[in-house]
Amino acid sequence: MRRPAGRCAWSPDGLRASEAGLKNQLVLILGDQLTPAISSLRGLDPARTRVLMVEVAAEASYVAHHRKKLAFVFSAMRHFAAELRTDGWDVEYVRLDDTGNSGSLASEIERFRRRHGKLPLRVTEAGEYRVAEILRSVADVTIVPDDRFFISSAEFAEWAEGRSQLRMEHFYRMIRRRTGILMDGDKPLGGKWNFDSDNRNAATRDLMMTQPLQFTPDRVTREVLAMVTENFPDNFGNLEPFWFAVARRDAGAAFEDFVSTRLSRFGDYQDAMLVGEKYLYHAAIAQYLNAGLLDARHLCWVVDSAYRAGKVPINAAEGFIRQILGWREYVRGIYWWRMPGYADENALGASRPLPALYWTGDTDMACLASCVAQTREEAYAHHIQRLMVTGNFALLVGVAPAEVHRWYLAVYADAYEWVELPNTIGMSQFADGGLLASKPYAASGAYINRMSDYCHGCRYDVKSRTGTNACPFNFLYWDFIARHATMLRANPRMRMAADSWMRFSDAERKNVRASARNFLQALR
């Protein structure tokens, strides 16, 4: 919203006289704080508050975001500004292409203060360390906790300190007890805390699968799409068709649709992958949740109620709730507990550059080609595609974790560093040496073959271990085990694999390592 120039006189201290009387607080709302319940607005009087939202080049380019992600963030920000105005808030909204936009969060706060007076700033703590540092450096700022999570960073640190080993399962049970979600008194509903072992079915083509709810771009989104086309011509990713929800009501409808059409099978097929079935029974809501369009507590209670009402089975309800109440909170806790050093962890000493196929999808490996193509089209891949295909490949070939991290942060619509970094550094690349995950998620082609139909259309033979036709995941897996055998033998969950390697004949060991060497040379 632009104000007419020269509307009122400057007072000596730089405040516009009329504004100084009326407004006494500036609130900055970041691109992932898009909820009227955000803590920075709580308790404030709209008549005395200016709200500032800024689209800035620095945030749009700290990694080369997927174009769909950019369009989603900007359109959701614009829709949220409109929502706040309807609720009576006075919102100053700076668009990316507005004349005078100075390009960064700090310089835009400064510019606002030059134009409208030096109001004290209030902001909810940033989700990312990098942005938190920027905000801490701003003059006259009050940073309030982000209470959209079940547990604060300080509480997590208290829970984690002094434990010899962190395990998500222990953390998850603590939060279940604390919240009462899926609990009957102090007992877990369904008689077990975790139904993960019931969640490993491979999907088949005859299953009925529905797509996530899709939305037609409105005028605001169309303007954003044009702006992204013009300003980010070289970024990765297809911009259209663009069908994400960008307003709270639509994101809510997308979640309700998931609960009524896909949740009941979410548990059974959580780990499955099928060519061309991008979503299976996944929710496809992380981008909404992380931006603030959905509320984690609400989601968990809705699913808890669906189970209690007999609408969905326990393995579905528990499986879904574990992702949000468990994993999502756990990775955030680890992020804030271990930053800033966590971003530089590299326990396995991996140093290979990210192969170009992560951007081009140009590979004969059908599973990788499919996951990269889907990522380019949708800015989405589900967890097992991220962990066991693209992540597993990077782990096995030894890509530098920082490069893997920057790729995941760029290419998914739901990617913010607080959630992406621990998933990449800790869970996927084992670069923290086992702080987050109890073992490396390294797997051969047999796992991918069991959980997907990718191998049917692949030029490689998933049953062969060596040679030019062998599935690269096979020899790369054993090469990985060989490279890290000493460390893996010390891990009870990996000892068997390391011991198996030692039982290979000398000739087979040589063949495996030669196949891996040749493949890696060609990859370079």
Judged by the rule CB under 6 A, the positions of this chain that interact with ligand DLZ are: 30-32, 54-56, 59-60, 65, 70, 73, 126-128, 131, 416
E strand spans, 55-116 = 90-94
Residue nearest to ligand DLZ (CB): 31
Q: Which is nearer to ligand FAD, 294 or 488 (CB)?
A: 294
Structure tokens at 343: 């971003």
64 binds ligand SF4 (CB under 6 A): no
Q: Assess contact for 333 and 160: CB atoms under 8 A.
A: yes
- DSSP conformation class of 23: -
* Shortest distance, position 199 Cβ to ligand FAD, whole Å: 11
Q: Which is nearer to ligand FAD, 355 or 391 (CB)?
A: 391
Structure tokens at 384: 């097992």
Of residues 117, 188, 333, 391, which one binds ligand FAD by CB under 6 A?
Answer: 391
Rounded Cα distance between 261 and 432, Å, is 38
Site for ligand SF4 in 355-384 (CB under 6 A): 365-367
Q: Which is nearer to ligand FAD, 48 or 493 (CB)?
A: 493
Rounded Cα distance between 38 and 41, Å, is 6
Q: Assess contact for 344 and 401: CB atoms under 8 A.
A: no
* Shortest distance, position 59 Cβ to ligand DLZ, whole Å: 3
Site for ligand FAD in 343-382 (CB under 6 A): 382
Rounded Cα distance between 493 and 272, Å, is 23
Structure tokens at 189: 């509903």
Q: Assess contact for 134 and 107: CB atoms under 8 A.
A: no
Residue 241, preceding peptide bond in cis (omega within 30° of 0):
yes
Rounded Cα distance between 116 and 109, Å, is 10
171 binds ligand FAD (CB under 6 A): no
283 binds ligand FAD (CB under 6 A): yes
Q: Which is nearer to ligand DLZ, 55 or 453 (CB)?
A: 55
E strand spans, 357-420 = none
Q: Which among ligand SF4, ligand FAD, ligand DLZ, none contacts residue 66 (Cβ within 5 to 8 A by kind)? A: none
Q: Return the ∠ at Cα 68 (arms to 67 and 74), rounded to 5°.
A: 90
448 binds ligand SF4 (CB under 6 A): yes
Choices 11-19, 50-58, 70-78, 444-452; region in contact with ligand SF4 by CB under 6 A:
444-452
Choices 7-15, 75-83, 240-248, 410-418; region in contact with ligand FAD by CB under 6 A:
410-418
Residue 340, preceding peptide bond in cis (omega within 30° of 0):
yes
Q: Tokens 């009576």, residue?
A: 88
Of residues 289, 316, 389, 476, which one binds ligand FAD by CB under 6 A?
Answer: 289
* Torsion on CA atoms 482, 354, 225, 124, rounded to nearest 10: 70
* Shortest distance, position 446 Cβ to ligand DLZ, whole Å: 38
Q: Return the ∠ at Cα 433 (arms to 428 and 434), rounded to 5°.
A: 70
Size of the site for ligand FAD (CB under 6 A): 28
317 binds ligand SF4 (CB under 6 A): no
* Shortest distance, position 67 Cβ to ligand FAD, whole Å: 17
Choices 71-79, 190-198, 350-358, 465-473; region in contact with ligand SF4 by CB under 6 A:
465-473
- DSSP conformation class of 380: -
Q: Of 520, 219, 222, give the one whose Cα is nearest residue 398.
A: 520
462 binds ligand SF4 (CB under 6 A): yes
- Reading phi first (left if > 0) and then psi (alpha if -120 to 50, else beta), residue 8 is in beta
CA neighbours closer than 13 Å in the CB half-sphere of residue 315? 13
Q: Which among ligand SF4, ligand DLZ, ligand FAD, none contacts residue 73 (Cβ within 5 to 8 A by kind)? A: ligand DLZ
451 binds ligand SF4 (CB under 6 A): no
Of residues 412, 460, 477, 480, which one binds ligand FAD by CB under 6 A?
Answer: 412
Residues in the chain, overall count: 524
Of residues 54, 119, 228, 284, which one binds ligand FAD by CB under 6 A?
Answer: 284
Q: Which residues bind ligand SF4 (CB under 6 A)?
A: 365-367, 445, 448-449, 454-455, 458, 460, 462, 471-473
Residues forming contacts to ligand FAD in the complex (CB under 6 A) are: 282-286, 289-290, 320, 323-324, 327-328, 331, 382-383, 386-387, 391, 408, 412, 414-415, 419-420, 423-424, 427-428
